[in-house]
């Protein structure tokens, strides 16, 4: 029986990131940048007012300071009177250059280009707000409330570095430096299909002995959550020619293929026979539960990674989480493909299978007083079933139990992997 870590290493060795592509910046969010984006122009491209106020020469308002905290009668303090003529209003977006004369002011809006000779913006609250003439109530230092040319980015600076995940701030910066498109690591294409004579699509009513196809929907959602571009093929007939045609088509269009229901029973044996003719495919027992029986191989001309998952939806989702999700994250170029793991105190006993590493459902909480993580097992409690999909839907974590541990007692510390947050 192969260890979980050995199987993960085997899967990781097959990871091949898709070739970087250039996309519109509106489509780049969440993807990893694959180039050093070097700016060609300064940002901002001109000296501009940082607030609404008056553009002035700081030397012209020097000395406009309060004289004392309060006047003798308890009223507001007097100021040395400085009054400047206002040459006009400069709006944001103004394209006509303007020049300030000595002992003049210009009314400016936030983002407006500064007139020549002006070296500061006097905030409105430091004036009487006059239109033709403005009374100055306080002085201002040179450079105050002005965004200088290149304050954010200078020509030749790297605006977005290769390896950066592009979020809202990066999209904004790319737009600010005039980039319409950017080179990124694209989402790997993943195809999900299911086999099993008992399966019907959710658009039909199951007959006697039939069940809904849960796996193609659940696994497709898990793949999207991991960052893949997903094609949900659905139920596929196990007729050898039909199956081969479908799988070959998906191997030719996808970077990863996931087939659920192909690791147990006579039907699974015929599936493995067909896949074995297309490349290297191995079904093995892995020292984990649930989902110990699983398959992995590389099919087609390009050796596309193909996973065979159990038919049980809980087992399929757990195997996906442990084996498939890290491969998707590596294909996206993520430096850390695994979920964040914390240590938590068990609130109830947890049983596990001897000799197998357990990945058991749980609800992770935090003590408000101590900040300690606490976990309530949903699967793995004594006498509990490990195949209940409803409890997996309630879980926000997987409790990892070492293969040498058969029981975790109440109060003991366990490793817990965060799942995607709900809500």
Q: Is the pLDDT of residue 363 over 80?
A: yes
**Mean pLDDT over all residues of the chain?**
87
Q: Is the pLDDT of residue 78 over 60?
A: no
Average pLDDT value for residue range 182-193: 93
Q: Which H or E element spans position 78?
A: strand 76-79
Question: Looking at the domain 22-43+151-185, which fold is it?
Answer: Molybdopterin biosynthesis moea protein, domain 2 (3.90.105)
Residue 79 is predicted with a pLDDT of: 55
pLDDT digits (tens, 9 = 90+) for 279-334: 889 999 999 999 999 999 999 888 999 999 999 999 999 999 999 999 999 888 77
Average pLDDT value for residue range 400-410: 92
Which range, 150-154, 280-284, 416-420, is most confident?
280-284
Q: Classify 4-18+187-332 by CATH class.
A: alpha beta
User: Do 281 and 303 contact (CB within 8 A), yes or no?
Assistant: no
CATH superfamily of 341-418: MoeA, C-terminal, domain IV (2.40.340.10)
- Residue 102: closest CA among 51, 148, 62: 62
Q: Measure the CA–CA gap between 319 and 359, rounded to whole angstroms.
A: 9
Binning pLDDT at 50, 70 and 90, where does residue 118 land? very high
Binning pLDDT at 50, 70 and 90, where does residue 66 land? low
Residue 380 is predicted with a pLDDT of: 53
CATH 2.60.40.10 fits 48-66+79-147, yes or no: no
Binning pLDDT at 50, 70 and 90, where does residue 389 land? low
Residue 287 is predicted with a pLDDT of: 95
Average pLDDT value for residue range 26-30: 91
Q: Do domains 22-43+151-185 and 48-66+79-147 have the same CATH topology?
A: no
Q: Is the pLDDT of residue 215 over 50?
A: yes
- Which of the two residues, 346 and 336, has the higher pLDDT score? 346
Q: Measure the CA–CA gap between 58 and 283, rounded to whole angstroms.
A: 78
To the nearest whole percent, how much of the chain has pLDDT over 90?
A: 54
Query: What are the backbone dihedrals phi and psi of residue 83, each rounded to the nearest 5 degrees, phi first?
Result: -125, 130
Q: Is the pLDDT of residue 208 over 70?
A: yes
Binning pLDDT at 50, 70 and 90, where does residue 222 land? very high
Q: Is the pLDDT of residue 182 over 80?
A: yes
Dig out the tokens for 101 from the structure: 């004369």
Q: Is the pLDDT of residue 178 over 90?
A: no
Q: Measure the CA–CA gap between 313 and 306, rounded to whole angstroms.
A: 18
Count of beta carbons in the 10 Å neighbourhood of residue 172 = 11
- Which of the two residues, 137 and 65, has the higher pLDDT score? 137
Dig out the tokens for 422 from the structure: 């709900």
Residue 50 is predicted with a pLDDT of: 93
Count of beta carbons in the 10 Å neighbourhood of residue 301 = 9
Q: Is the pLDDT of residue 21 over 70?
A: yes
Domain boundaries, the chain: 4-18+187-332, 22-43+151-185, 48-66+79-147, 341-418
Output the DSSP codes for 270-332.
HHHHHHHTTEEEEEEEBSEES--EEEEEEETTTTEEEEEE-SSHHHHHHHIIIIIHHHHHHHT
Residue 390 is predicted with a pLDDT of: 63
Q: Measure the CA–CA gap between 71 and 65, rounded to whole angstroms.
A: 14
Residue 423 is predicted with a pLDDT of: 37
Residues 6+ apart with CB under 8 A from 273: 240
């Amino acid at each position: 029986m192969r260890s979980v870590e050995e199987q993960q290493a085997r899967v990781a060795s097959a990871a091949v990131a898709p070739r970087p592509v250039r996309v519109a910046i509106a489509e780049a969010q969440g993807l990893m940048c694959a180039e050093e984006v070097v700016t060609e122009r300064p940002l901002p491209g001109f000296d501009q007012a940082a607030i609404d106020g008056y553009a002035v020469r700081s030397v012209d308002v020097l000395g406009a300071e309060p004289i004392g905290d309060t006047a003798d009668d308890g009223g507001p303090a007097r100021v040395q009177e400085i009054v400047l003529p206002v040459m006009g209003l400069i709006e944001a977006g103004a394209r006509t250059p303007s020049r300030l004369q000595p002992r003049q002011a210009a009314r400016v809006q936030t983002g407006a280009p500064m007139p020549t000779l002006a070296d500061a913006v006097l905030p409105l609250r430091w004036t009487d707000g006059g239109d033709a003439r403005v009374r100055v109530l306080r002085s201002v230092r040179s450079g105050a409330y002005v965004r200088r040319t290149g304050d954010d980015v200078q020509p030749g600076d790297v605006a977005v570095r290769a390896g950066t995940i592009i979020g809202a701030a990066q999209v904004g910066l790319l737009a600010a430096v005039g980039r319409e498109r950017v080179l990124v690591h694209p989402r790997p294409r993943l195809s999900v299909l299911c086999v099993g004579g008992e399966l019907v699509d959710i658009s039909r009513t199951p007959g006697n002995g039939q069940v809904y196809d849960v796996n193609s929907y659940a696994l497709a959602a898990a793949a999207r959550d991991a960052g893949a571009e997903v094609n949900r093929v659905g139920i596929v007939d196990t007729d050898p020619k039909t199956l081969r045609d479908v799988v070959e088509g998906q191997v030719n269009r996808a970077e990863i293929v996931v087939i659920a229901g192909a690791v147990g029973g006579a039907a699974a044996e015929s599936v493995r026979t067909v896949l074995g003719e297309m490349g290297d495919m191995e079904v093995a027992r892995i020292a984990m539960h649930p989902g110990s029986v699983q398959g992995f191989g590389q099919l087609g001309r390009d050796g596309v990674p193909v996973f065979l998952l159990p038919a049980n939806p809980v087992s399929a989702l757990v195997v996906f989480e442990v084996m498939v999700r890290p491969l998707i994250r590596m294909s996206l170029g993520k430096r850390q493909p695994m979920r964040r793991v914390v240590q938590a105190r068990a609130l109830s006993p947890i049983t596990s299978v001897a000799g197998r590493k357990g990945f058991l459902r749980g609800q992770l909480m935090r003590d408000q007083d101590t900040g300690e993580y606490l976990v309530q097992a949903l699967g793995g409690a004594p006498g509990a079933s490990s195949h209940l999909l409803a409890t997996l839907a309630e879980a926000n974590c997987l409790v990892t139990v070492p293969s040498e541990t058969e029981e975790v007692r109440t109060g003991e510390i366990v490793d817990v992997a965060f799942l995607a947050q709900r809500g």
